[in-house]
Structure 1
Amino acid sequence: MKGWLKSVFALLCLALNLQATACQLRFAAETDFPPHLIKNDEQHWHGQTAELLQALAAKVGCQIDYRSSPWLRSLMQLKSGELDVISHLYRNAEREKDYYFLGPHHLEAIWLIGKAADFKEVRTLTDTIHLKPAPRIAVLNGAYYGEDFAAVQRNPGFAALLVPISSIQDKLALLNAGRVDAILEDRSVLHYWQQHQLKSASLYRPIVQIYQAPVYFGFSKKSISAAQFAKLQQAWLLMEKDQTVRNIQQRYQPQ
């Protein structure tokens, strides 16, 4: 009898071990969103967001399955359970119906970024409406830039300036190619460009702050159970307590 119990216990342990090994978090990742998500030549991921999620996954015994997906599609896939987690998600009551929120992992500061000479008369976002020639401003399709931005966007004159872009890479490429005059982007991205002396980075300046708010990891309530999320929460609290979160953030943020 004792031998039978030992065998059952060993099988249970093996099953649990296999389950932990097989655990994967399907994560929507932009391939070039420094300093948050950076894919190097060896196809390895690093950056503030990537390393925070890697540390979290390691604590709960999971691997990360990185999936390239435009932002708006990622939100829909997270809601349906086709993705397990995305990052940089603003928290509100409506979204809490479909997603668990963990963090915050970053304080996002969205600015109008462009060449200072092109926007020297701009003190507020609405000032861009009166510029001649009219500037082209790239915005991420499906992104939330705050209620003040939404109010200005209802002005047809301002809405006509906006160029919707499906991914971070498209937005940055258009700016560098001169096909848009400004972008709405987190200031930490501009800091990374200039710190690493990327092409044309020194020409750009933060013109007007659009919105600032904490952003979170969002987990799908379709694919992640309440019990699984409780384990993720516990792991995150441990990472905060042992300074893992702070140490990773400090490596990538302006001091």
Structure 2
Amino acid sequence: MKQAKAGLAHGQWLLLLAGLCLQHRVAAQDFTVAVEESDNHPFEYVQGDGKTHGGFHLEVIDEVTARLGWHVVYKPMPWQRALRSLQLGRVDALSYLARTPERDAYAVFLPAAIQHRQYAGLFVLRAQRQHFPDSARPCSYAAYRMAAASNYFYGAIVQQAMHECWQIDMTASSKEEVFAKLLAGRIDIAVAYGTSLQSLDMRMPELQSQVVALREPRWLIGDFYLGFSRKAMSAQRIDAYVAALGRFRKTPAYQQLVSKYNMKSFLP
């Protein structure tokens, strides 16, 4: 009798252990991606808890994870919190991430995981457009009041101009705040990504009629990545994702997404 009880207990233990292992395998299939809590058309956007989402970046992630059998979970959050979450390993990856030496310490950047190439532009009120030059020389704009969002990376040319000759306000935490200052007349020029008017079309529809980008300044920022957390992602999982991404990019479905979002000029 004692042996039967011991055997039963041992069997129950094995079942429990098997259940825990199965639960671990299922959890390991999850792929948690932080996304900025903002509308970044045509690259990405999320609504609510992230289940409603779209844009080139996220639809590519959807396709790749589906092929891997992973369950992707999008976590929309303010940009600074997204960076911190990636650093602490609270998420597996962060979308739309520029590479910097500081971020190299906690994120893995791979050429195969580049999402698109971005440019910086200068935006002014349409009614005042004639007062501004079209120049590729950053210091041509030294006399103007300018603003840009903090915690965004604008590329080496812009970063140098910020230190050398621009009068620039960096107190805004988002591109929405920067353009609100432009509309209110508190600044002369908004510094932002070249696709900002498109990405803010839903949230700030008044921009399209009141704001215009200067033609000449189109300064290369660099490549933007799906950055993987060094703490949360193993090398094996990263390799698996990148390999699946490479295979997907060779399919007609990928080319359809490129055409859908007019991405050809943004791809490296």
**Once the two structures are superposed, what CA deviation does each residue of 1:32-73 show, in whole Å capped at 9, x if it has no partner?**
222222345896111122212222332331221323122x33
2: CA distance between counterparts of 1:26 and 1:50? 9
TM-score using structure 1 length: 0.77
Amino acid at match of 2:251: D
| Other-structure match for 2:188 | 181
The question of whether the paired residues in 1 share the 8 Å contact of 2:125 and 2:182 is answered with no
- Report the aligned-residue RMSD: 3.4
Contact 2:39/2:200, CA 8 A, preserved across alignment: no
How far off its partner does 1:122 sit?
4.8
Measured after TM superposition, the shift of residue 172 of structure 1 is 4.0
Match in the other structure for 1:136: 146
Matches within 5 A, 1:98-177: 98-102=106-110, 103-115=113-125, 117-118=128-129, 119-123=131-135, 124-130=137-143, 134-137=144-147, 139-155=148-164, 158=166, 160-177=167-184
TM-score (norm 2): 0.74
1:74 and 2:86 correspond: no
CA distance in 1: counterparts of 2:188 and 2:60, whole angstroms: 33
Cα separation, 1, equivalents of 2:205 and 2:83: 30
Moved more, 21-30 or 97-106: 21-30
In structure 2, relative to structure 1, the CA distance for the partners of 1:93 and 1:129 (3 Å cut) is: closer
- The question of whether the paired residues in 1 share the 8 Å contact of 2:34 and 2:74 is answered with yes
Tell me the secondary structure at the aligned position of residue 32 of structure 1: coil
Give how far 1:86 is off. Answer: 1.4
Shift of 1:92: 5.2
**Quick one: distance in 2 between partners of 1:245 and 1:173?**
36
Q: Which residue of 1 aligns with 2:8?
A: none
CA distance in 2, matches of 1:164, 1:245: 39
Of 13, 36, 61, the residue aligned with 2:43 is 36
Structure 1 residues 180 and 83, CA gap change in structure 2 (3 angstroms): farther
Which string of whole-angstrom CA distances, capped at 9 and with x for unpartnered residues, describes residues 109-149 of structure 1? Answer: 1111223534523523212222xxx4232x22122222222
Paired with 1:185 and 1:250, the residues of 2 have a C-alpha distance of 24
CA contact (8 A) 1:111 1:206 kept: yes
Letter in 2 for 1:136: M
CA distance in 2, matches of 1:128, 1:64: 43
Determine the structure 2 residue equivalent to 1:50.
58
Q: Report the CA distance shift for 1:243/1:44 in structure 2 as closer, same or farther (over 3 A).
A: same
In the alignment, residue 161 of structure 2 is paired with which amino acid? Answer: V
| Contiguous gaps of at least 5 residues in structure 2 | 1-10
CA deviation digits over 1:196-241, x for unaligned, max 9? 9932313333222233422111010111111111111111111111
Q: Tell me the SS of whatever aligns to 2:32.
A: strand
CA distance in 1: counterparts of 2:221 and 2:198, whole angstroms: 16
